Structure 1
Amino acid sequence: MKLLHVDASAKGERSNSRALGRFFIQQLQEQGLTLEIDYLDLAQEAPAAVTEAFAIATYTAPEARTAAMRETLAASDGLCQRLLDADACLFAMPMYNWSMPSTFKAYIDNITRTELTYHNTAQGIVGQLSRQKVLFLTSRGADLRPGTPLAWMDALTPSLRAAFAFIGVQQPQFVDAQPLQFADPEARSEALERARGELQQLARQWAA
């Protein structure tokens, strides 16, 4: 299995999402899966923000692009190809102020590309990532699970679902470790253990 593993936490080795991502990979390997891991650390290799030149180049037909346009799109082209080449994707990130880290938003902007990750057809938009397994592994400071008082403040889950559905991911899976930052030690420990249990179960599903 070729696994694209993307980390987005700025916390480095103190990051819960990074630690849980490593745990999930270990669980996959313990299930007997042979992994070819393509790793991307957005804290170290943040994609460029969208510019006017990028937008113009994106919506210019490939055969009409100038050398400068092709250069502008080169990094984005590479990110798209890595995504399309993967059999499965692990996107690990913390929630920052109710949504995704800015580096992951820039990543989404770079991989949402017409005629690469989606096709605009007479029948509508056709995403090109229908075959990949996708896991979003998130860490959250507060408890935003359905039914909790703060559940309505979760802007991360619907944003990820919408962005990746557009490029073809119809059944993403989510494991959310919460609450962590705004929790007593016992609740924090329970949240991490709950997430690890969900990851173990998911690893068995992926290996089946």
Structure 2
Amino acid sequence: MKLMHVDASPKRERSSSRALARYFLDRLGEHMPLEIDYLDLALVPPPHVTEAFAIATYTPEENRTQAMRDILAPSDALCRRLLAADALLFAMPMYNFSIPSAFKAFIDQIVRTNVTYKVGPDGRYVGQLARQKTLFITTRGADLRPGAAFESYDALTPSLSAAFGFIGVANPWFVDAQPLQFADQEARDAALRRARTELDSVASAWANEESVAA
């Protein structure tokens, strides 16, 4: 399996999302060989959208100047990496109830007309990442689980579901470790245990799907 792994936490060894992503890859690697394409958005942040980028991306390819092609080159490269992968693993913390800015910039680089989505003859948008298994690992300082006091504050899950659903990811997996920052040690330990148990299940499910497909 060729897997693209993207980390978005600016923390290094102290990052819980990074640690959980490594845990998942270890578990998945016990089931199958992995070819990992790794991207660290903290070390290689994607460029933010500019006026020139917006103009270039909506200019028909045959009409683009060399300057436009140069502006789109980093985005083109990211899109190729996504489309080439069999599975996608995205790990990130929740910041102020939503997506870290580096990952939002990443999304803005990969949601590309005629690349990761196309417009069909009937006018419908067709995402091009329908075949990729996708897992989001998120860490949250507060408890946003159903029934918790902060449940309605979760802007991260619907944002990720909408953006990636538009480019074809219909049924992503979510594993959310919560509460972490704003909790006592016992609650933090329990949150990480729950997350690791869920990741064990996702690894087994992916392995079973691969064996059936083979």
Q: Normalization by structure 1: what TM-score? A: 0.99
Where in structure 2 are the equivalents of 1:26-105 lying within 5 Å? 26-31=26-31, 33-105=32-104
Q: Deviations over 1:132-156 (max 9, x none)?
A: 0000000000000011111000000
* Cα offset, 1:30, TM superposition: 1.3
Aligned partners of 1:28 and 1:141: how far apart in 2?
26
| SS of aligned partner of 1:115 | coil
* Cα offset, 1:36, TM superposition: 0.4
Aligned partners of 2:168 and 2:47: how far apart in 1?
23
Q: Normalization by structure 2: what TM-score? A: 0.96
* Cα offset, 1:27, TM superposition: 0.1
Does residue 134 of the first structure (1) align with residue 134 of the second (2)?
yes
* Cα offset, 1:130, TM superposition: 0.3
Aligned partners of 1:49 and 1:81: how far apart in 2?
19
Aligned partners of 2:194 and 2:89: how far apart in 1?
18
| SS of aligned partner of 1:12 | coil
Residue equivalent to 1:20: 20
* Cα offset, 1:121, TM superposition: 2.3
Residue equivalent to 2:117: 118
| SS of aligned partner of 2:13 | helix
Aligned partners of 2:101 and 2:74: how far apart in 1?
18
Instruction: Compute the RMSD of aligned alpha carbons.
Output: 0.6
Aligned partners of 1:201 and 1:164: how far apart in 2?
22
Aligned partners of 1:136 and 1:172: how far apart in 2?
7
* Cα offset, 1:129, TM superposition: 0.4
Residue equivalent to 1:161: 161
Aligned partners of 1:13 and 1:168: how far apart in 2?
33
Question: Which AA in structure 2 matches 1:118?
Answer: Y
Task: Determine what percentage of the aligned residue pairs are the same residue.
Answer: 66
Residue equivalent to 2:211: none
| SS of aligned partner of 1:5 | strand
| SS of aligned partner of 2:105 | helix
Aligned partners of 1:190 and 1:9: how far apart in 2?
21
Aligned partners of 1:57 and 1:113: how far apart in 2?
11
Aligned partners of 2:81 and 2:148: how far apart in 1?
37
Aligned partners of 1:122 and 1:68: how far apart in 2?
30
Where in structure 2 are the equivalents of 1:190-205 lying within 5 Å? 190-205=190-205
Aligned partners of 2:76 and 2:55: how far apart in 1?
15
* Cα offset, 1:89, TM superposition: 0.3
Does residue 145 of the first structure (1) align with residue 145 of the second (2)?
yes
Residue equivalent to 1:175: 175
Question: Which AA in structure 1 matches 2:110?
Answer: I
